[in-house]
Each structure stands twice: as C-alpha cells, then as structure tokens.
Amino acid sequence: MHESIYIAASAGLKQAKKMEMIAQNLANVNNSGYKRDGLVFKEMMPPFQPDSGMEAAKNALLSPEKSNKNVSYVGITDYYTDFTPGVFKETGGTLDLALDNDGFFKVQTPDGPRYTRNGSFRLNTAFQLVNQNGNQVLDRENNPIVIDAPGAEIVIDGGGNISAGTGIGNLPIGNIKLVRFENEKSLEKMGDGLYRHIESEENELEPTDTKMHQGYLEGSNVSTVTEMTEMISTLRMFETYQKMIQSIDSMDDQSVNTIGRVG
C-alpha cells in the first residue's frame, strides 16, 4: 500500500483524537470548576526515537523500519489541562465557594485524597462538610470539617476560616484547606471534577494570593465559541485527510488498471 495513505491516516487519527477532546470540553461547559483539555501535535520523522512515553501517541500505522525517512507523520506530544480560572457565578449558597486564583480544595475519597476546584459543598447527616458526591472536605490538619450549628449563620471568610452564630461574636468552627502545586502537570483528572496528585503529598504548597468567595461558584473555563470554531476546523481537516486517502487509492487503482491494459 502507498505510504501516503498511512501518513494521511495517521494525521486523520490525530484529528479524531482532537475531536474527542473538544467534545469532552463542550460536554462539561456548564460544570463548576471544570478545566478544558488540549492536545499538542508535532511532526515526527522516522525512524522514531525509542521513547516509551510517546508510544501510545505515535500510532503512525506503518512501522519505522518500513517507513521512508524523507516523510513525516503526525504525533501527539502532549496532553495538557488549562488551569486558567473560570468566571464566577453568584449562587447565594452558604456553602458554595469559589477560588479567585490558583489552588484546590482537598477532599477525602475512598481511593485517597483528591483535589477539586468545584466548591459546591453541603453538610451530610453527621454535619460534615462534603462535596456533592459525599467526599469529606479537609481542614488544614487533614481532618474532616464538622459544622454542627443548627439555625446559626455560617460565615466563611477569604482565608477559609469558618464561624457560626447570630452575626455578633460568631464562634470559630474550623478552616478549609487550600493547596497548590508547583507542577500542575502532576495532577491527573479522575472525573467528577476531581484530580489525583501523582507525586508525594509533601509537594503540596499553600496558596499565597488565593481567596475564597462565599456564595459563588467558579464556572468552567471552556469557551463555547472557541470550542465550536475548533470543532469546525478539526472536522474540515479530518475530511481533507479522508479525501486525500480516497484520491491516492483512486490513483493506485487507475495505475493498476492502466498497466494491466498495456500488458
């Protein structure tokens, strides 16, 4: 088979991967705290370097030893998450919190500690502060936060300090832990707005310029217009590679038939 078909197919597969990521971003456009994902493409010249971390991304279709060294394939060199803060949405909810800078809330799940930007919290039957999936929100000592103050007004200041009372002489209850990471690429998406830190918890840092805003939620940082524009562009590129494959196949077919007639 003509190698041009493999090259076009390789590029088409990468556009299909990009389309999947765009669809994922659009599906989460209304989810609080969601961060958009993206891909980075790169020209790859055979023979490919023996980089095991890149094997899943190469997917070049034709093995390097059979490939022409004068041609190039399309490779995916990086998956990334854009952690740019989203726009605040006022909810008026007492336990709704938004972060105005970098950082994450830390929650405890059955699979271990996780991190999230989604500050849509509530109280469970034990009066513990939890997220919408029932995972406990942790304080600065990595303990669950208990707010047992029926009928009292709950106030959470910019530093995450929780107090409750009638507005005069409120009693302190606890605090909410915030963490940030020097290398945000060490965070892996786990679904439901949660991230897993693939390195040691010792790498947790305390944000210095981040404040909590009570009664607000952070929207996703996905721009519908941008993603739809990218989707149209990606679809056109995919169709272009598809037509290239059809054209090359048609030329090969004509060549075979012409040679057959001459013979």
Query: What is the predicted pLDDT for the residue at 162?
Result: 96
Q: Is the pLDDT of residue 69 over 80?
A: no
Average pLDDT, the chain: 84
Q: What is the pLDDT of residue 8?
A: 77
* pLDDT computed for residue 57 by the predictor: 46
Give the pLDDT confidence of 94-132 residue by residue, as tens digits. Answer: 999 999 999 999 999 999 999 999 999 999 999 999 999
Q: How confident is the model at residue 249 (pLDDT cuts 50, 70, 90)?
A: low
On whether the CB atoms of residues 168 and 195 are closer than 8 A, the answer is no
- How are the residues of the chain apportioned to helix, strand and coil, as percentages rounded to the nearest 5? 30, 30, 40
pLDDT grade for 53, boundaries at 50, 70 and 90: very low
Residue 137: name the closest of 102, 97, 164 by CA. Answer: 97
> Which of 6-20, 32-46, 185-199 is predicted most confidently?
185-199
**Which candidate, 29, 27, 58, 26, places its Cα nearest to that of 42?**
58
Burial of 216 (0-12, 13-18, 19+ CB in 10 A): buried
Domain borders along the chain are 3-83+224-262, 88-218
Does 151 score more than 70 pLDDT? yes
Neighbours of 188 (CB within 10 A): 11
Mean pLDDT of 166-191: 88
Nearest to 122 by CA among 109, 132, 107, 135: 132
Tokens of 212: 């909590």
* Amino acid sitting at position 91: T
